[in-house]
Amino acid sequence: VATCTFAQARRVVVEQVRAARYLESELVQLEAAAGRVLAESAAADRDYPPVDRSVRDGYAVRAADLPGDLPVAGEVRAGQAARMKLEAGQAIEIMTGAPIPPGADAVVMVEHTVRQGFSVRVDRTAESGQFINPRGSEAKCGETLLAAGQRLDFAQIALLATIGKTQVRVFRRPVVSILSTGDEVVDIHETPQPHQVRNSNARSLAVQVQRAGGMPRILPVAHDDEDSTRWLIEKGLHADLLLLSGGVSAGKYDIVEKVLGDFGADFYFDRVLIQPGQPLVFGRIDRTFFFGLPGNPASTMVTFEIFARAAVQLLHGEADPVLPFTLAKLTAPFRHKTGLTRFLPAQVSNGTPELTPIPWQGSSDVAALARANAFLVADAERESWEAGDLMQVLLK
Ligand code: AMP
Ligand code: MG
């Protein structure tokens, strides 16, 4: 059908899914909203802060009165309204978070004062406005603070709590079918013969789908024959996205693409210049998008992370999914054959950060993948990197 580079394939996935996704929303309690995607915008219900507020424990003063020895006219605590007015030449003791008394225009930190009975001595000058968080400086009443399409994590939940949203409208989670194929693949409850493998892909994909915000539905394993594959694909199409693993390479029994074609699928690409995961298929049947992910565990994991994850996030209503790329310093030289963008298991250390490739036996080496906390990303156009060079990393 079509061969794409990594960047082209990524663009195709994002554009196709964004253009054809079908979003529905529901109302949930704030307690249940973490990890969901906002389907409405959220606005400030009042000014934030609602009054001028102190950011320090200390004394509210008029800057013009400093330095000086000022009588302490009273106290405002956090949780008290500021009733008392500050007169010229006075100080009012104030706590962090308390409203600034009218008449004051600065706060002096308690550490910069000497209290002497009913008065306080301040030896330094103060700038007007210092340590005051003015009313409305964080947000104005009615201002939009979160837009639809924003995924809700702890900070966004805190913001919704701040503005008094006890319920929030979020998008429905997309349902994602997971269909493993392969005559050699057995359920994890079975004891595999030497020529068989346990179905690890269904498990890794289910976790990846869930992390991305989708609801995984694992189907039985399809045999490498058309009837079995057709029957299970048909079941898998009752979903927003169908993920198939295996059966998309050039082998005699790799029939997934053919069976998808029999359903009248639109194919957007069926080969991407990456490794692992080159024979990757992406398309759509009616309203259901699908990926045919190559069956080797590393291929399945990598192609999900770099392509299918964005599809799940978009189907979940996220406005703009990003890949968590960063740069890290290589601890050893790295060479590869140009032409393919490679995603290889690696360890990123804390600090600088430093990047170390993990030795592995290739795409079936799940043990190496489990030792990795990242994938190093070897650009398709560059052949070699020296120790100490910065290299791109995809964080897991
Ligand atoms: P395929 O993409 O169908 O050619 O599969 C490539 C290899 O991936 C197979 O030889 C299996 O060893 C492995 N494999 C395929 N499906 C799975 C699966 N569901 N779980 C674990 N390994 C698999
Ligand atoms: Mg197979």
Looking at all shown ligands, the one closest to residue 251's CA atom is: 1
CA 349 to the chain's CA centroid:
21
Closest CA to 322 of 226, 394, 261: 394
| For the chain, percent of residues with pLDDT exceeding 90 | 97
The protein residue whose alpha carbon is closest to atom 7 in ligand 1 is 296
Task: Specify whether the CB–CB gap between 394 and 305 falls below 8 A.
Answer: yes
CB atoms within 10 A of CB 149: 17
Q: Which residue, by CA, sits nearest to atom 13 of ligand 1? A: 296
Atom 15 of ligand 1: nearest residue by CA position: 295
Q: Please check whether residue 358 is in contact with residue 368, taking contact to mean a CB–CB distance below 8 angstroms.
A: yes
pLDDT in the model for residue 219: 98
> What band does 330 get if pLDDT is binned at 50, 70 and 90?
very high
pLDDT of the residue at 83: 84
> Using CA positions, which residue lies closest to atom 3 of ligand 1?
246
Distance 27 CA to ligand 1 centre (A): 40
Distance (Å) of CA 156 to CA 150, 213, 279, 361? 9, 16, 39, 42
Q: Name the pLDDT band for 82 (thresholds 50, 70, 90).
A: confident
* Predicted confidence (pLDDT) per residue in 54-81, tens digit: 999 999 999 999 999 999 999 999 999 9
Question: What's residue 52's pLDDT?
Answer: 96
pLDDT, position 351: 74
Residue 350: per-residue pLDDT: 80
381 has a pLDDT exceeding 80 = yes
Interval 252-269: pLDDT, tens: 999 999 999 999 999 999
CA dist 28 and 30 (Å) reads 6
pLDDT at 326 over 90: yes
Residues 122-142: tens digit of each pLDDT: 999 999 999 999 999 999 999
Cis peptide before 216 (omega within 30 of 0): no
Convert the pLDDT of each residue in 188-208 to its tens digit: 999 999 999 999 999 999 999
Query: What is the model's pLDDT at position 60?
Result: 98
Across the chain, mean pLDDT equals: 97
- Cβ count near 136 (within 10 Å): 17
Task: Kindly tell me if the per-residue pLDDT of 352 is higher than 80.
Answer: no
Looking at residue 314, its pLDDT comes to 98
Backbone phi and psi for residue 103, each to the nearest 5 degrees, phi listed first? 100, -25
Give dist(CA 331, CA 375) in Å, integer.
14
Contact 293, 277 (CB under 8 A): yes
Q: What is the pTM of this model?
A: 0.93
- Peptide bond before residue 276 is cis, with ω within 30 degrees of 0: yes
Which of the listed residues 244, 364, 365, 366 should we mutate to test ligand 1's pocket, taking the one with most ligand atoms within 8 A of CB? 364
CA nearest neighbour of 368 among 357, 355, 354, 353: 357
Residues with CB under 6 A from ligand 1: 180, 182, 184-185, 197, 199-202, 245-247, 249, 251, 294-297, 364
- Rounded Cα distance, 336 and 263, in Å: 39
162 pLDDT band (50/70/90 cuts)? Answer: very high
Q: Which residue has the higher pLDDT, 83 or 187?
A: 187
